[in-house]
Structure 1
Amino acid sequence: MPPAPRKPRPRSYDPAKVRTAVTAQLVHVREAVAGLDEAQLALPARSGERTVRELIADIAAGVDLVARLIEEPAPPARKITAVEWVIADHRAETAARTEITRGAAEAAPDTAPEALLAAVADRFAALAAATPPDRLLAAPGGAVRLDDFLVTRCVELVVRTGDLAAALGAGIRYDRQALANATRLLADALAAKAPGGSVEVRIPPFAVVQCVAGPRHTRGTPPNVVETDPLTWLRLATGRADWATALDAAEISASGERADLSAELPLVE
């Protein structure tokens, strides 16, 4: 019987740098929404599922969830990691955040998006910096350390920044550290979801992981290699792009008989 695939070693993140990355990405989003008129705020986002105004409120709610959870009593035990959040528990958060977004809209229907994001950024900066990184949060999917949850905010922010850019038809800047954190976390989630060493996934300059059960290479060029850029990877991992279309557009290079990850993607939606 072949040995069981080895679990990837958990990646560590510097909480201070993650906090800075979240704040920096919020600044980029605020700059993008400053001065939007009502017609632009009413534009559809993500296949018409919501408007730009609603998407901005959701971006704010995703970050403000950190402060909300810090203000709640700590749960008794740790249950999930950042990678586990990606694989399974983001769905519970999505449902909970929908209620937060709706409540915020009802409480302040005329709040300008830029002002909403500024208030959220200030609250996040104050509470996250004053809270120990190992503090447990009662997240919707289960108890999670603050430092792990902060990394998931990079995924949420960067992915929804892409949604906002697509809806507005305009470029929005990405903080390099936020983009790196999001890329690495989703790459690690792929390695955890499909453990193994037969395929090497390269997302330069931020991540390289091995995944998919099968023969493991130990030296030289791997027989199965997938390579793409960070933004394409984020779209694939979150269902914003599909494997076949990205492959046809040469946004992915895939070599080797096992280098087809379509069965493993998306990781989150």
Structure 2
Amino acid sequence: MSPAKKRPRAYDPAKIRTAVLAQFGNVREAVRTLTPEQLALPTRLGEWTVRELVAHIGMAVTAVGRSLDLPEPAKPDATLLDWPFATSVSAPAIDAFTRRLSAEHPDLDAYLAGVEQGLVAQLDTHPGSRLLETNAGALPLADYLVTRTVELVVHTDDLNAAVPGLDIPHDRQALAAATRLLADALAVKAPGGSTEVRIPPYAVVQCVEGPRHTRGTPPNVVETDPLTWVRLASGRLTWKAAVEEARVAASGERADLAELLPLMS
């Protein structure tokens, strides 16, 4: 569970559905171009190869169906903002499942096509209010689908990092949702109003205990771009490296977020 409760912002279910399918489509199109040599390349995710990373991306999407196959919980017992803090709970099981999927599906394009077809059918069948049992607790389907934008954006970036010259685009709506969810998670982890974190054009949040800013220029400001923020929040980039490489601008005595990141692991 997250360190504190914060009411999550509202997301348009139709836009989130479109964003998830668009980003998954971007991945599918790129995977079709990968050679066996490229699929065998290492990634920044431990011992996973590109092939295993692709299998995991499919697995992240089929998580919707696996949850739908379980009995529906009686009532919600989590919020969308609990999810980022629960992502490391099942890491060993996820690793084993990913490796098995990779071995069972030599034709990755056919595998991803089936994943996409299954997701569309599930979203056409079940309302967004349908409760799912997830690793974070019982959440509505519409909320859980927002978390899939984070999975897809993060792992698209992992693929681009693993394969030289690969440049899978990030759907604007998917990147926006992922950025906002992870920004709000920071505000949950470090509640307060002394520091303003700006991630234009998608999010601005207040966080960190201390004197609350009310008008004029905030005394503590952090600003970065959406993809850098996603990398920081997911542990793909350290705060120190981001500052040294001028990917983050931070001013004020409470603008150092090193101890608060990453949010996910």
CA displacement 1:64-100 (0-9 Å, x = unmatched): 110121122112221212211112x112354443344
Corresponding position of 2:189: 193
Deviates more, 1:210-219 or 1:122-131: 122-131
Corresponding position of 1:247: 243
Distance 2:101 2:151 in 1: 18
Distance 2:5 2:97 in 1: 35
Corresponding position of 1:159: 154
Which residue, out of 80, 98, 101, partners 1:101? 98
Distance 2:223 2:123 in 1: 35
Distance 2:92 2:15 in 1: 28
Which residue, out of 115, 120, 123, partners 1:125? 120
Q: Are residue 54 (structure 1) and residue 49 (structure 2) matched?
A: no
Residue 138 of structure 1: CA displacement?
1.3
CA displacement 1:208-241 (0-9 Å, x = unmatched): 0000000001111111000000000000001100
**RMSD (Å), alpha carbons:** 1.6
The answer to whether the Cα contact below 8 Å between 1:66 and 1:128 also exists between their aligned partners in 2 is no
Residue 172 of structure 1: CA displacement?
0.9
Letter in 1 for 2:88: R
CA displacement 1:23-78 (0-9 Å, x = unmatched): 00011101111131211110001165210000000000000110121122112221
Distance 2:115 2:49 in 1: 20
Structure 1 unaligned residues grouped into runs of 5+: 1-5
Deviates more, 1:65-74 or 1:215-224: 65-74
Which residue, out of 224, 227, 236, partners 2:223? 227
Corresponding position of 1:81: 79
TM-score, normalized by length of structure 1?
A: 0.92
1:33-44 residue pairs with structure 2 within 5 A? Answer: 33-44=31-42
The answer to whether the Cα contact below 8 Å between 1:80 and 1:143 also exists between their aligned partners in 2 is yes
The answer to whether the Cα contact below 8 Å between 2:128 and 2:142 also exists between their aligned partners in 1 is yes
The answer to whether the Cα contact below 8 Å between 2:83 and 2:135 also exists between their aligned partners in 1 is no
Deviates more, 1:237-246 or 1:137-146: 137-146
Distance 2:160 2:127 in 1: 34
Letter in 2 for 1:62: A
Deviates more, 1:159-168 or 1:94-103: 94-103
Distance 1:81 1:8 in 2: 8
Corresponding position of 1:13: 11
Letter in 2 for 1:97: I
Distance 2:45 2:62 in 1: 25
Corresponding position of 2:64: 66
Q: State the aligned residue count.
A: 261
The answer to whether the Cα contact below 8 Å between 1:62 and 1:97 also exists between their aligned partners in 2 is no
Which residue, out of 141, 160, 163, partners 1:146? 141
Residues 86, 198 of structure 1: alpha-carbon distance in 2 compared, 3 angstrom cutoff? same
Letter in 2 for 1:90: T
SS in structure 2 at match of 1:92: coil
Distance 1:53 1:105 in 2: 6
TM-score, normalized by length of structure 2?
A: 0.94
The answer to whether the Cα contact below 8 Å between 1:93 and 1:139 also exists between their aligned partners in 2 is no
Structure 2 unaligned residues grouped into runs of 5+: none
Distance 1:9 1:75 in 2: 21
Residue 141 of structure 1: CA displacement?
3.2
Deviates more, 1:54-63 or 1:136-145: 136-145
Corresponding position of 1:26: 24
